[in-house]
Structure 1
Amino acid sequence: MLIYTATKLTPILESHDMQATFNFYTEILNFTCAAKLDDLSWFSLQKDDIEIMFSIPNTHRNTPKPVMSGSLYIKTNEITTLWENLKNKCEICYPLENFEYGMREFAIFDNNGYLLQFGQEL
């Protein structure tokens, strides 16, 4: 059995429009830039304890558009306020609702089509 300590998970997502992605996360979702390359081919964004990195597509993978089979799930203590601020600024996947598994949540798509879910425990 492999034994090690994992200290953090930071997704690195690809974007074909790095400037639009940078603007979406900083202007709409209020992330801040933690680090970036001058040509904007890579950057790291933070919001409280969350970090997401973006890079231009890897030429070895030859992916014509960004793909992710899942979603990024972000927990918050201000779900209603967040919904009110985002519902008219983003493409909605599903609106704010309460779920039987004890979460109040909604989901949006970012400018790349990545699914971002936001939830708060009921």
Structure 2
Amino acid sequence: MESLSPNIFVKDINETIAFYKQLGFQLVMSVPEDGSPLVWAMVMSGNVNFMFQTFASLGDELPTVNRKDGGSLLFYIKLKNILSFFDAIKDKVTVVKELEKTFYGATEFSILDNNNYLLTFAEDI
């Protein structure tokens, strides 16, 4: 195995891209590329990438894809300079769990993205 790239189902890809750009991600690919309403997109920051796709674009192909906003999973993202990153985004996002030092030595905080997915950012300090 070489990598894992979550493909997250969302209602509004443009809104989701705008949210992730606030976190420092850049749009690297989208379908279609001609400016029509997007059905898929990929964002990247460092070695972390997410793909976003509309439910409708896979409805016929994968009928078992169905859920409400959010999910029963957490995306754990390691980064450097967590304190300055937190200060830069804390007023732009919904913080679910403030900065804290964990028993295993990491400094972490958690936020909700615009689709109610939980993102936990961590740094081993």
Q: How does the TM-score come out when normalised to structure 1?
A: 0.89
Aligned partners of 1:16 and 1:65 also within 8 Å: no
**Alignment partners' CA distance in 2, 1:46 and 1:106:** 20
Give CA-to-partner distance per residue, 1:32-87, whole Å, 9 cap, x none: 11110123110011101111100001422362523421211110111000110111
| Deviates further, 104-113 or 37-46 | 37-46
Aligned partners of 1:94 and 1:108 also within 8 Å: yes
- In the TM superposition, 1:1-122 aligns within 5 A as 6-26=1-21, 28-38=22-32, 39-57=37-55, 58-59=58-59, 60-61=63-64, 63-122=66-125
- Tell me by how many angstroms 1:95 deviates: 0.4
Gaps of 5+ in 1: 1-5
Gaps of 5+ in 2: none
Q: How does the TM-score come out when normalised to structure 2?
A: 0.87
* Percentage of matched positions with identical amino acids: 29
For the residue of structure 2 that corresponds to 1:112, the secondary structure is coil
State the aligned residue count: 116
Q: Which residue of 2 aligns with 1:3?
A: none
**Alignment partners' CA distance in 2, 1:47 and 1:76:** 10
